[in-house]
Chain A
């Protein structure tokens, strides 16, 4: 058993991928609590796809891919806020338009590259085994900044999410805070790019948070439980990927989804089984 656990760690690339999936698992899970509670899952998905043109442009210019993705995600995040703020469009309509447009632009740009298929696969589904030491530093730096912001602005994000009327009464800059939350979400999505890829990041944002929601009654506890589930899914998924020889992003997401299904059935009070027993 011990050897089973230590063998992957003997490879430097596995050390880096384990560390990356651990950090991404925790980061996605914590900000994912707001994604779940504020109903921003579609937004998270849109941001993930919005990265594509940024990454493609960076690739064509031989620039930093993550930086390209980051710029694109922030532009789209603020763009969605801008289009829906006017009140002409509902937010999900604005998201749908920008998300599809960004995805199309990304595919168009990437299709001009010769190694089109491989590159697109890496972006869509991650390439965690290719995590470089500098990627790791970037993940730690950006992820740390996102976590610190969420902790420091806990009260403010709580009020704008729970009770916008109180936020207005207390004269909090709600619009600014809402945009800041979108930027934090964009940073998280970019950081997760190498680990789970554009296609699966929504699962890492939503699944641990939704699981923790079923198990807790207060937001700090929900965040802590979600972080634990995210961290466990990241690590367990990497081992699953190593031994079962399956794509790592998929393995991580499947682990988190498996935990969700178990909790959905077995959770005390809110689980399906519990409610079935109470009814009979």
Chain B
């Protein structure tokens, strides 16, 4: 990995959340098209990292570079699917309208959707298996369907970097499968992906790289190198139990409310 082809670089990044530092001195580089699982205990700063990457939280120190340029010089090359969408569910918009929002920055100010925009929306809906729901109100959908609608919106944005916060938590099997299929497909399109997850098995099996966070970078690299008993006990503290045969048990009883 050379610095030139790194699509995403963080150098000594410090981010505060509610006045307290939630991430300190974070440095890592994600090469073009890599798929990264971000793993850590609750409060380790996984969501904070994503929010800083899309500009929702200010960076207190260090710098974030995308394609070698500072954060904010690109308008829509980073797409973000939060853990729980904080949207107005009663808003009179259809699923199609929501997905079209991913195209807004591409359309530019004052412009109306082009045929190309409509085609991108239709194919994103189809890819997430919710084409039949296009005309439904967003508030009428089930939780899993809503998540797929927001993934479709992220796809319609045609991002270079896609951030997904806990997309496998609290959703139905169909949505989990659709999300995993999406990872495979985006691999071929060279989209860089970062996903936060509690699921160490999933991280080990489906991702090129694992970032182990505990308010700072504990380890970063291929799953086999990162997911060691020592690194995990450092990241999860007392929640890790290392068995004699080498198996590792992580008790990460999830209270998403704690997540920052």
Contacts and interface: CB of A to CB of B under 8 A. Distances in A.
Interface of A: 37, 152-153, 155-156, 158-159, 161-166, 168-172, 213, 216-219, 221-222
Given A169-B56, A170-B75, A161 B101 contact: no
Nearest to A213: B92
A219 B87 CA distance: 15
Interface string B60-85: 00000000000010011011101001
B101 A222 contact: no
Q: Which of A153, A155, A213 has the most CB of B within 10 A?
A: A155
A131 to B, nearest CB: 33
Contacts of A172: 105
Contacts, number: 74
Contacts of A153: 109-110
A163 B72 CA distance: 19
Interface of B: 54-56, 72, 75-76, 78-80, 82, 85-88, 90-94, 97-98, 101, 104-105, 107, 109-110, 137, 153
20 contacts: A37-B88, A152-B110, A156-B104, A156-B109, A161-B91, A162-B93, A162-B98, A162-B101, A163-B87, A163-B101, A165-B82, A166-B101, A169-B54, A169-B76, A169-B79, A169-B80, A170-B105, A171-B55, A171-B105, A213-B92
A166 B56 CA distance: 10
Contacts of B76: 169-171
Nearest to A166: B101
Contact of A218 (B56, B75, B93, B101): B93
A163 B101 CA distance: 10
Contacts of B78: 169
Secondary structure class of chain A's binding surface, majority of residues? helix
A37 B80 contact: no
Contact of B101 (A159, A213, A221): A159
Given A163-B87, A171-B72, A217-B137, A222 B92 contact: yes
Contacts of B56: 165, 168-169
Given A159-B104, A171-B55, A217-B92, 11 more contacts: A37-B88, A155-B107, A161-B88, A165-B80, A165-B85, A166-B101, A168-B55, A171-B76, A213-B92, A219-B91, A221-B92
A147 to B, nearest CB: 15
B179 to A, nearest CB: 19
A171 B87 contact: no
A199 to B, nearest CB: 28
B75 A217 contact: no
A264 to B, nearest CB: 16
B92 A219 contact: yes
Nearest to B97: A218
B158 to A, nearest CB: 13
A133 B5 CA distance: 67
A217 B79 CA distance: 27
A161 B98 CA distance: 12
